[in-house]
């Protein structure tokens, strides 16, 4: 689905991502773990068009999308959530979800101006779908609240709903469990599995070993910009280098 | 939910009252200068609403919108005087030219941060002002005569009641259009770009395109207002278009409340009244406007609209409470 080859990202002299190759297979939940500053988010930014790579190539469904623009990649079917929550804070929960529907709602300026039947039909469709996606994450009853008023954990869920609204083929989740309590984490795990069962390929960054081992089919481990290990969760968990990196990191 | 319904009802009532006042105003006022003045209020409502699309919704600032007001004015003057176009068509074309200018300016400027955008807009307004002042052909200082506002060859300015209604119709159209735009996916895209550029991009919104679009729509409004004003005054003089006058629109928006349909309306009306009352004391006028802006930014950043909303919600709560009490009392009597 997504194939990143030999990605190098340099900030000034430092290599945040150092010749990393990762393959995200269709229909799977792929995990990406690593200690703080390992370069996971930077790698995500490359795939989602936020960050240009210094070297390397990224392919999506066989097409070269290296250094593509964010909004185009979203339209192509790559959606993401952010580690530092990036919601539209002053807008309602529903509006946040509706903005996710932006590139799947088809009408132009004049249709909007005159409120044509097509515009109304498209808006109605977008609204229904947005509400359905909010329901999946369990926020439909809070649709009129401002996004900024939600507790932290729910803001993360809203980010996921908003990303789902873009009707992605691949969903990139950057530490979705950060700041969540134990019960919320359990709900989140089920949610991620549910998303995968909807036929959406998932790539998830996670600090929490237990979470990643629980949900992912395949795991990549990054450390200090390098790819340290990859494999099935139980293999990676036993890998002595990974254990050292984590113990050393902590 | 119920409270919301009552707020909506209250809104409707307020809207109805204001609408009725606006419509019957020429029956109450016969002084033709006053009617001219109220026509101008309408023009400023359009301009301020235009700035709000950019400032309140798309989160970009312009301290140079007077430039587009000027472009609208001079383009329609030239088109009617030299190309012999009918006034209404000419006004719309002038607004489109202003919008095109806005889009052109926005193309390079849309990447600028807020404060640099503000500087760029000031520079552009000064550029346009100097341009006008230095084109001899436009008779910048003596002023250039402009055809009176007219439709189908009928001179509306011969009776300012007609002028007033003409402007009123366009005010309603402008507000309706703004309403349609801001509640569509386009308006949501504007607000997304305002709240968080990065995730707007991540959500499939072409940020640059929508910023340029917001600029173009905004400057269309202001260009339209400028063109109408030229035909209302029947004269264009360069000093109307000094950059500092751009702040008037900003003051109207801040005063009334941005990111709303009726905020800029209130702002423009109040602004024009204060402006008129202090017309002979310009120093005082500037001090008062300066003071008002500072007070509003410090204590009521949402403008009059946010204060009104708070009041409305309180009223609505009281109403629904009163009703409930009445209902429960009624129930007891039945028992
Ligand atoms: N825009 C930037 N400019 C300079 N350095 C950066 C930039 N973004 C990231 N870095 C550096 O790149 C390295 C990798 O950061 P990154 O955020 O990708 O790590 P991470 O694996 O996501 O860490 P965490 O688990 O803390 O989120 C860090 O050393 C960081 O300081
Ligand atoms: Mg990170």
Distance CA B26, CA A211 (A): 71
pLDDT of residue B111: 81
CA distances from A232 to A20, A28, A214, A219, A246 (A): 18, 12, 11, 6, 17
Count of domains forming chain B: 1
Evaluate if residue A104 carries a pLDDT over 90: yes
- Count CB neighbours of B296 within 10 A: 21
DSSP B210-257: HHHHHHHHHHHHHHHHHHHHHHHHTEE-GGGG-GGGHHHHHHHHHHH-
Distance CA B266, CA B274 (A): 12
CB contact under 8 Å between B202 and A86, yes or no, is: yes
Residue B239 lies in a domain: yes
pLDDT of residue B5: 60
Tokens representing B326 are: 């009445």
**Res. B304 pLDDT band, cuts 50 70 90:** confident
Q: What's the order of all strands across the beta sheet hosting A2-11?
A: A14-24, A2-11, A55-60, A63-64
Percentage of chain B exceeding pLDDT 70: 93
- A164 phi, psi to nearest 5 deg: -65, -35
How many beta-carbon contacts under 8 Å exist across A and B? 96
Contacts of B164 (CB under 8 A, 6+ apart): B25, B26, B35, B38, B39, B42
Residues of chain B contacting residue A162, judged by C-beta atoms under 8 Å apart: 203
| Residue A51 alpha carbon to ligand 1 centre in Å | 12
pLDDT of residue B328: 46
- Count CB neighbours of B82 within 10 A: 8
- Dump pLDDT digits (tens) for B215-225: 999 999 999 99
Residue A119 · residue A105 · CB < 8 Å: no
- Count CB neighbours of A250 within 10 A: 7
**Res. B322 pLDDT band, cuts 50 70 90:** low
**Res. A47 pLDDT band, cuts 50 70 90:** very high
Q: Which of B177, B180, B201 sits opposite A70 (nearest CB)?
A: B201
In this structure, which residue's CA is closest to atom 16 in ligand 1?
A39
Residues of chain B contacting residue A70, judged by C-beta atoms under 8 Å apart: 198, 201-202
Tokens representing B269 are: 């009306």
**B187-204: burial string, b at 16+ Cβ within 10 Å, e else:** bbbbbbbbbbbebbbbbb
Average pLDDT over residues A173-179: 91
Distance CA B166, CA B38 (A): 12
pLDDT of residue B330: 40
Residues of chain A contacting residue B191, judged by C-beta atoms under 8 Å apart: 88, 90-91, 95, 99
Identify residues whose C-beta is under 5 A from ligand 2, the ion: A 41, 83
The radius of gyration of chain B's CA atoms, rounded to the nearest angstrom, is 22
Chain B nearest C-alpha distance from A136 (Å): 19
**Res. B130 pLDDT band, cuts 50 70 90:** very high
Burial-class residue A18 by CB neighbours within 10 Å (0-12, 13-18, 19+).
Answer: middle
- Cβ < 6 A, ligand 1 pocket: A 11, 16, 34, 36-42, 83
Choose between B137 and B314: higher pLDDT: B137
pLDDT of residue B327: 46
Give start and end residues of each alpha helix (H) in B59-156.
66-82, 87-109, 114-134
CB contact under 8 Å between A70 and B189, yes or no, is: no
Distance CA B44, CA B249 (A): 8
Residue B331 lies in a domain: no
- Whole-number average pLDDT of chain B: 89
- A64 phi, psi to nearest 5 deg: -75, 115
Tokens representing A187 are: 């709900």
Residue B177 lies in a domain: yes
Distance CA A206, CA B136 (A): 69
CB contact under 8 Å between A101 and B202, yes or no, is: no
**Res. A100 pLDDT band, cuts 50 70 90:** very high
Chain B nearest C-alpha distance from A242 (Å): 32
**Residue A39 alpha carbon, nearest atom of ligand 1:** 18
Residues of chain B contacting residue A86, judged by C-beta atoms under 8 Å apart: 196, 198-199, 202
Average pLDDT over residues B88-109: 96
Residue B65 lies in a domain: yes
Chain A nearest C-alpha distance from B31 (Å): 37
Interface test with A, best of B4, B185, B220 (most A CBs within 10 A): B185
- Dump pLDDT digits (tens) for B12-49: 887 888 889 999 998 888 888 999 999 999 999 999 99
Residue B306 · residue B300 · CB < 8 Å: yes
What number of CA atoms fall less than 13 Å from residue B186's CA on the CB side?
26
**Residue A51 alpha carbon, nearest atom of ligand 1:** 1
pLDDT of residue A31: 95
Percentage of chain A exceeding pLDDT 70: 98
Q: Is B207 on the interface with A (CB under 8 A)?
A: yes
Contacts of B167 (CB under 8 A, 6+ apart): B39, B42, B43, B228, B232
**Res. A42 pLDDT band, cuts 50 70 90:** very high
pLDDT of residue B109: 84
With an 8 Å Cβ cutoff, the interface of chain A facing chain B consists of: 48-50, 69-71, 74-75, 79-80, 82, 86-91, 95, 98-103, 105, 107, 109, 112-115, 119, 123, 126, 162, 166
Contacts by B134-137, CB closer than 8 A, 24 or more apart: none
pLDDT of residue A247: 65
| Residue B33 alpha carbon to ligand 2 centre in Å | 65
Residue B333 lies in a domain: no
Q: For residue A16, what is the enclosing H or E element?
A: strand A14-24
Residue B107 lies in a domain: yes
Domain ranges, residue B302: 2-326
pLDDT of residue A248: 60
pLDDT of residue B217: 98
pLDDT of residue B7: 65
Average pLDDT over residues A71-83: 96
Tokens representing B275 are: 């402006």
Residue B334 lies in a domain: no
Burial-class residue A124 by CB neighbours within 10 Å (0-12, 13-18, 19+).
Answer: exposed
pLDDT of residue B152: 87
Evaluate if residue B313 carries a pLDDT over 90: no
- Whole-number average pLDDT of chain A: 93
Residue B126 lies in a domain: yes
CATH number of the domain residue B227 falls in: 1.10.3470
- Dump pLDDT digits (tens) for B210-267: 999 999 999 999 999 999 999 999 999 999 999 999 999 999 999 888 998 999 999 9
What totals of helices (H) and strands (E) does chain A contain, helices first? Answer: 10, 10
CB contact under 8 Å between B202 and A80, yes or no, is: yes
């Amino acid at each position: 689905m997504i194939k990143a080859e030999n990605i190098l990202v340099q900030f000034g002299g430092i290599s945040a991502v150092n010749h990393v190759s990762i393959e995200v297979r269709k229909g799977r939940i792929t995990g990406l773990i690593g200690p703080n500053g390992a370069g996971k988010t930077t790698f995500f930014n490359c795939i989602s068009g936020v960050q240009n790579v210094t070297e390397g190539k990224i392919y999506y469904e066989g097409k070269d999308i290296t250094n593509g623009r964010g909004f185009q990649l979203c339209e192509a079917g790559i959606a993401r959530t952010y580690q530092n929550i990036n919601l539209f804070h002053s807008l309602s929960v529903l509006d946040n979800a509706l903005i996710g529907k932006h590139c799947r709602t088809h009408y132009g300026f004049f249709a909007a101006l005159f409120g044509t039947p097509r515009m109304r039909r498209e808006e109605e469709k977008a609204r229904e779908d947005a509400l359905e996606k909010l329901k999946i994450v369990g926020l439909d009853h809070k649709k009129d609240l401002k996004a900024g008023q939600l507790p932290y954990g729910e803001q993360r869920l809203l980010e996921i709903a908003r990303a789902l609204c873009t009707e992605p083929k691949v969903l990139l989740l950057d530490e979705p469990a950060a700041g969540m309590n134990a019960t919320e984490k359990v709900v989140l795990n089920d949610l991620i599995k549910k998303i995968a069962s909807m036929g959406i390929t998932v790539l998830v960054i996670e600090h929490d070993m237990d979470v990643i081992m629980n949900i992912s089919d395949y795991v990549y481990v990054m450390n200090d910009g390098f790819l340290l290990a990859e494999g099935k969760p139980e293999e990676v968990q036993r890998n002595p280098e990974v254990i050292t990196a984590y113990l050393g990191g902590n | 939910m119920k409270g919301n319904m009552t707020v909506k009802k209250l809104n409707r009532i307020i809207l109805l009252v204001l609408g009725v006042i606006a419509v019957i105003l020429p029956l109450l006022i016969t002084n033709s200068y006053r009617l001219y003045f109220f026509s101008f209020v309408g023009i400023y409502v359009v301009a301020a609403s235009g700035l709000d699309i950019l400032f309140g919704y798309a989160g970009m600032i312009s301290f140079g919108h007077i430039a587009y007001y000027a472009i609208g004015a001079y383009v329609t003057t030239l088109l009617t005087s030299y190309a012999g176009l009918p006034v209404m068509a000419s006004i719309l074309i002038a607004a489109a030219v202003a919008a095109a200018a806005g889009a052109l300016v926005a193309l390079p400027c849309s990447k600028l941060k807020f404060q640099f955008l503000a500087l760029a807009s000031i520079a552009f307004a000064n550029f346009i002002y100097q341009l006008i002042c230095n084109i001899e052909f436009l008779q910048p200082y003596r002023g250039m005569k402009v055809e009176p506002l007219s439709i189908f060859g009928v001179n509306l300015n011969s009776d300012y009641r007609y002028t007033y209604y003409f402007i009123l119709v366009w005010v309603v159209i402008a507000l309706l259009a703004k309403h349609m735009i801001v509640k569509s996916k386009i308006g949501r895209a504007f607000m997304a770009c305002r709240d968080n550029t990065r995730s707007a991009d991540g959500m499939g919104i072409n940020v640059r395109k929508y910023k340029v679009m917001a600029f173009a729509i905004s400057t269309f409004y202001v260009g339209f207002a400028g063109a109408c004003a030229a035909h209302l005054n029947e004269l264009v003089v360069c000093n109307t278009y000094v950059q500092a006058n751009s702040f008037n629109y900003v003051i109207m928006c801040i005063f009334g409340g941005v990111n709303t349909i009726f905020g800029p309306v209130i702002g423009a009306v109040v602004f024009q009244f204060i402006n008129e009352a202090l017309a002979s004391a310009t120093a005082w006028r500037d001090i008062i406007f300066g003071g008002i802006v500072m007070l509003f930014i410090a204590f009521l950043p949402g403008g009059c609209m946010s204060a009104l909303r708070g009041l409305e919600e309180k009223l609505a709560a009281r109403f629904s409470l009163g009703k409930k009490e009445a209902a429960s009392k009624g129930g007891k009597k039945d028992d």
